[in-house]
Amino acid sequence: MDEIQKAKISDIQARYSGDLMNKAHVIGTAIGYRQRNQVHTDELVLVVLVDQKVPPAELSPQDIIPSQIEGVPVDVQSMGGTFKAG
């Protein structure tokens, strides 16, 4: 992992996890790699874990997860289940 990018993402995670955790279907946040078609890429991102992926059109505006926060890319990954993690 790129330590500078990891530190930046960690800072964003610390400051925004509370807001993200209040959005519908969100069960946690993490630092990890973007997934495309269930395969991890080499792009380091803020991962938002959800119990199920829902199309943005079916969410209220306040529950839509941004694609980036302060320039840090965000990847929504479905985990299933009902546990909560920070």
18 contacts 69 by C-beta, under 8 angstroms: no
**What is the value of pTM for the model shown?**
0.88
In this structure, the number of other CB atoms found within 10 A of the CB of residue 59 comes to 14
Contacts of 60 (CB under 8 A, 6+ apart): 24
Q: What is the DSSP letter of 66?
A: P
How do residues 16-59 score in pLDDT, each as one tens digit? 999 999 999 999 999 999 999 888 899 999 999 999 999 999 99
In order of their start, the domains of the chain are 3-78 (3.30.300)
- Strand, coil or helix: 2: coil
